[in-house]
């Protein structure tokens, strides 16, 4: 997930003002954007590229593995924390948005890892069974 240095240097406060109007909307919107929005955009872009014949789907990847990989891309990086701070600079919502990035990243990590864990392994020549020699 996020490196420890990025977390500490980003100045993420432990306490945020959730009593501010619409604070919960900022938190949930930020977290869901990473967990749902980012993977949905990647899936849509991949589908458009395949339909336009400028890209192809990997034949040996299971759909659940592809979904898991896109959900893992929802893990926010230090730039996400910086953008949250810049988008709400000088307001109480900056801390709420940063907590949303951290919670969305944690959810994306868990959901993506679960999807990859339960997806079937791709069948390739490298992991296919060798023929039985008698």
- Could you give the percent of the chain with pLDDT greater than 90? 49
Q: Give the confidence band of 126 by pLDDT, cuts at 50, 70, 90.
A: low
Which candidate, 77, 78, 80, 75, places its Cα nearest to that of 110?
Answer: 75
What does 64-86 look like in DSSP terms, one character per residue?
Answer: HHHHHHHHHTTS--HHHHHHHHH
Tokens of 104: 């969305």
Q: What are the structural domain ranges in the chain?
A: 21-118
Considering only residues 60 and 28, tell me which one the structure prediction assigns the higher pLDDT: 28
pTM of the model: 0.78
Mean local confidence (pLDDT), 42-67: 89
Q: Does position 104 have pLDDT exceeding 90, yes or no?
A: yes
Helices H / strands E in the chain, number of each: 6, 0
Q: Does position 38 have pLDDT exceeding 70, yes or no?
A: yes
């Amino acid at each position: 997930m996020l490196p420890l240095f990025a977390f500490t240097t980003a100045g993420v406060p432990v306490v945020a003002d959730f009593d501010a109007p619409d604070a919960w909307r900022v938190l949930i919107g930020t977290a869901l954007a990473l967990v749902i929005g980012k993977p949905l955009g990647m899936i849509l872009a991949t589908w458009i590229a395949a339909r336009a014949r400028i890209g192809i789907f990997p034949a040996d990847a299971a759909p659940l593995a592809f979904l898991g990989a896109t959900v893992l891309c929802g893990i926010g990086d230090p730039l996400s924390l910086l953008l949250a701070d810049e988008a709400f600079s000088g307001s109480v919502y900056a801390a709420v948005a940063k907590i949303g990035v951290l919670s969305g990243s944690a959810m994306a990590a868990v959901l993506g890892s679960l999807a990859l864990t339960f997806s079937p392994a791709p069948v390739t020549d490298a992991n296919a069974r060798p023929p039985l020699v008698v």
